[in-house]
Amino acid sequence: MKSILSIVLLVVASIIISNSAYTVKQTEQVFITQFGMFVGDAINADPEKNEAGLHWKTPFIQKVNSIEKRILEWDGPATDMPTRDKLYINVDTFARWRISDPKTYYEKLRDERSALSRLDDIIGSATRDSIAANDLIEVVRSEKDRKPAVDESLIAANSNIGILPAIKHGRKVLTEQILSAAQPKVQAWGIELIDVRFKRINYKSDVIGEIYSRMASERLQIADRFRSEGAGEAAIIIGRKDRDLLQIKSEAYRKEREIQGKADAEATSIYADAYSSSPVAADFYLFIKTLETYQRTLGKDTTAIFTTDSDLFSLFKSIDGKKKGEQ
């Protein structure tokens, strides 16, 4: 009888002990409820304290509730929204958060699914407000002081082609604005919002065509500038070529005249020497020069009128006189 009683007492004791003891993991924080009411503070909620391990509660009437202690992820849906310069873009954001007040979180949200739904509303609204208050360049450029790489050859003189507009804040400041706007609202649910970032920013499909057209127009302007500069350089080269060619021709003509003048002088000297060497040579020279003159001045259809005492007609007179003497 005693042994049976001992076994019963042992079973009851084990049930009571098993229902009284519970274990808190490193990655969770635990709070106790009794008849739906909180009892004490949350265990292992303070990040500076390590309260993980074995703990005790009142058996049967107290319930153990565990929630996540680690940093959690929020990945919001991609949403279309307008910028201040009236360009519609598709913005995809993500955030990191943690449960800072387990009791408030449990009372108002109960579970993680409800928390994510509320974060969709709060962070999405703050993102739309921030995007609508800034131009597109503020969203796509990371920091105000960062200097983007620019191809200097694409920058036209006295033109904005290839030069990015100045920014006031930059994407980093925009995410800080979203974080500061959303943090006070989520604190009311026992949530600490740690960080908010842009994951992806895309143009809407109906805006992409306009952007491509603008890019093509800028490239055409750059191409026209290059063509204009090339035409100017070509004109300079052609002008230099024409000047050099004219100078070469002028120099060649001058040398030609010099050579021809020297040759004429030398020929005249030879003719003069031959003319003064003997009377026969003089007569022969005179005869040759007269024939050359006839050849240059008298053609097939040439009509010439000479006086009887003309020097040019003298050869004809002598030829005619010889023919009469022979007769």
Higher per-residue pLDDT: 121 or 107? 121
Beta strands, E only, the chain = 21-24, 28-34, 37-43, 53-56, 62-68, 72-75, 79-82, 88-99, 191-203
Q: Are 310 and 324 in contact (CB under 8 A)?
A: no
Note the pLDDT of residue 149. 54
How far is Cα 327 from Cα 325, in angstroms, rounded to an integer? 5
In the structure, what pLDDT confidence band is assigned to residue 323 with cuts at 50, 70 and 90? very low
Instruction: Assess if residue 302 is contained within a domain.
Output: no
Over 80: is that where the pLDDT of 27 sits?
A: yes
The answer to whether residues 88 and 59 belong to one domain is no
The answer to whether residues 82 and 154 belong to one domain is yes
Note the pLDDT of residue 102. 85
Over 90: is that where the pLDDT of 73 sits?
A: yes
The answer to whether residues 139 and 223 belong to one domain is no
Note the pLDDT of residue 67. 84
Last residue of a domain, one of 203, 233, 248: 203
Average pLDDT over residues 105-111: 85
Instruction: Assess if residue 300 is contained within a domain.
Output: no
Instruction: Assess if residue 164 is contained within a domain.
Output: yes
In the structure, what pLDDT confidence band is assigned to residue 186 with cuts at 50, 70 and 90? very high
Instruction: Assess if residue 165 is contained within a domain.
Output: yes
Beta carbons within 8 Å of 98's beta carbon, 6+ residues apart = 68, 69, 70, 71, 72, 191, 192, 194
DSSP assignment of 44-98 equals T-STT----EEEE--TTTEEEEEEE-S-EEEEPPPEEEE-TTS-EEEEEEEEEEE
Over 60: is that where the pLDDT of 155 sits?
A: no
Instruction: Assess if residue 324 is contained within a domain.
Output: no
The answer to whether residues 217 and 114 belong to one domain is no
Instruction: Assess if residue 282 is contained within a domain.
Output: no
Last residue of a domain, one of 203, 223, 241: 203
Q: Which of 155-159, 171-175, 314-318 has the least mean pLDDT?
A: 155-159
The answer to whether residues 195 and 99 belong to one domain is yes
How far is Cα 253 from Cα 255, in angstroms, rounded to an integer? 5
Q: What percent of the chain has pLDDT over 70?
A: 79
In the structure, what pLDDT confidence band is assigned to residue 322 with cuts at 50, 70 and 90? very low
Higher per-residue pLDDT: 291 or 94? 94
Note the pLDDT of residue 31. 80
Note the pLDDT of residue 311. 65
The answer to whether residues 183 and 84 belong to one domain is yes
Over 50: is that where the pLDDT of 308 sits?
A: yes
Domain that holds residue 253: 209-277
Instruction: Assess if residue 304 is contained within a domain.
Output: no
Higher per-residue pLDDT: 152 or 172? 172
The answer to whether residues 59 and 175 belong to one domain is no
Note the pLDDT of residue 293. 74
Q: Are 119 and 95 in contact (CB under 8 A)?
A: yes
The answer to whether residues 54 and 141 belong to one domain is no
Q: Using the 8-state DSSP alphabet, how is residue 313 labeled?
A: T
Average pLDDT over residues 121-130: 94
In the structure, what pLDDT confidence band is assigned to residue 324 with cuts at 50, 70 and 90? very low
Average pLDDT over residues 176-180: 93
Average pLDDT over residues 200-208: 77
Query: Which tens digit of pLDDT belongs to each residue from 126-153?
Result: 999 999 999 888 888 776 565 655 555 5
The answer to whether residues 57 and 87 belong to one domain is no
* φ, ψ of residue 152 in degrees (nearest 5): -60, -25
The answer to whether residues 42 and 127 belong to one domain is no
State the amino acid at position 47 in one-letter form.
P
Last residue of a domain, one of 43, 68, 93: 68
The answer to whether residues 122 and 59 belong to one domain is no
What integer best gives the mean pLDDT of the chain? 79
Angle subtended at Cα 282 by Cα 280 and Cα 283, rounded to the nearest 5 degrees: 65
Instruction: Assess if residue 146 is contained within a domain.
Output: yes
Over 60: is that where the pLDDT of 18 sits?
A: yes
How many distinct structural domains can be found in the chain? 3
The answer to whether residues 197 and 231 belong to one domain is no
Query: Which tens digit of pLDDT belongs to each residue from 251-267?
Result: 999 999 889 888 888 87
